[in-house]
Structure 1
Amino acid sequence: MSSAPETADLRPVTAERLVADLRTLGVPEGAPVMVHTSLRALGWVIGGPQAVLEALRAAVGPHGTLAMPTQSWQLCDPAMLQELPEEWWPTIRQHLPLYDAATTPSQTMGAVAELFRTTPGARRSPHPHRSITAAGPEAERITARHPLDSPAGEESPLGALVALDAWVLLLGVDAAKATILHLAEHRADYAGKRSVPNGVAMLVDGHREWTTWEELDVHDHDFVDVAAAFAAETGLVRSGRVGEAAAHLLPARALVEFAAEWFTAHR
């Protein structure tokens, strides 16, 4: 038996209402849109993640492309994560599953993104930790390249999204979740900017090997601040409500260009 909503003041949120709210917010039909969403924040959505995806597809239309982060942190080098005892690390490296774009689950990306990665026709980028999934006419261009040592750099799906003049849609989450801002970190020059080691189990010439590289040490501690400054100084952020959630729509190219300068000045 399904549980009833916990709050008497809630009313069911339909996919049709979500579509109407997305259009009122200004989500452009036919454009690439990078979506970050909290299902819980949207309210009691009839149909859950499936309905949210249907609404997002309807809002961007058949010529629009949706993208979402589908990262799989569970495959990272335990030394980079620093969450488990060091004496465990060799055993973890020896037994971590191989990344499979079709079957590796995302972690901490939310129910909508986890369902989205299984959408028929969706394409998932090949990075074993920082994958982006996209569906629509520009999906191949967005996900085709994703270098191991530059998961958020110019040659990553984030660079492709900016080149395509994509939009960033935040549904019930704040700008700390705006993955596109990691590209601005790559472009910025700030004190303490450094690389860190990472690794993953891969098949190399048919044999399992632990492969290592260096990547930018990225942080999101000031993403909310930079997004607020961007909104105040440019007036380019569209804000409203989608379902029961606070929602924000930001132009990716302008945001990244602004943030790269902001990080350089403020970090």
Structure 2
Amino acid sequence: MRKISATYIISNEGTPLKNGILVLNDDNSVAELIDRKGSVKEIQDLEYYSGVIVPGFVDVFTFLSWPNMNTGLINSNDLAKLSLGETGDILMIQKAINHLEAFGTKGAADFFPAKKSHDLKKKSKLSIRDIHDTSEVYTSKLFSEFPSTVLGRLFTNNISADKAFCIGTGSLSSHLKLSVFDELKYLQTIKADLSLEQQIKWACLNGADALGFDHLGSFEIGKKPGVNLITNLDYDNFCLKSDSKLKVIV
């Protein structure tokens, strides 16, 4: 077993735990979440980090099969006119997958999947759901509360000016990095009052629920959500800063 503690743990299963302990089984599933009521008493074999421990991210909007595709509202008929060689190649698809893994993402949606990307996605460490049409999940479930005029903003900028359900990136054509964490920092700049706790719910739990990833999104016993460490925060307001950092722990 592995015991991990930090200044705070955001579990998406209750309020943040100060100096709490996350206990993982050998397969990295959650065995226990311990509330120490702020105690910093040393425990044998405890890994302690200065920062905030959060679950792995879930990216609800990617073009892994089409890494050079400009993101936006498109349809399968438009995409069917293109060949993989015109918009991307195997190396670029692998690069996109590598980005998600390196920046703490554990689950993702791949819009309009291509057959050539299948083996690469299967070999990855990610849980990936193929989305063949935007109405399959998003129009009916995620964005049902948004007017159609907002949908374009959600898909192209990944957030809504007023509220958001989930976080997504897009493609390497529109982003230098496929990093949910970078999207959270950007979101913080335009909505300064967002708490880190709220953002982590959007970036982890809501995306997992929307894509049907029951094993991701929170530090619930039995789940295997991954573990990310966020450092250099604004603790007074419990929010991100422009120079906040991310480290993948599990």
- Check whether TM > 0.5: no
Higher relative contact order (CA 8 A, sep 6+): 2
Q: TM-score, normalised by structure 1?
A: 0.26
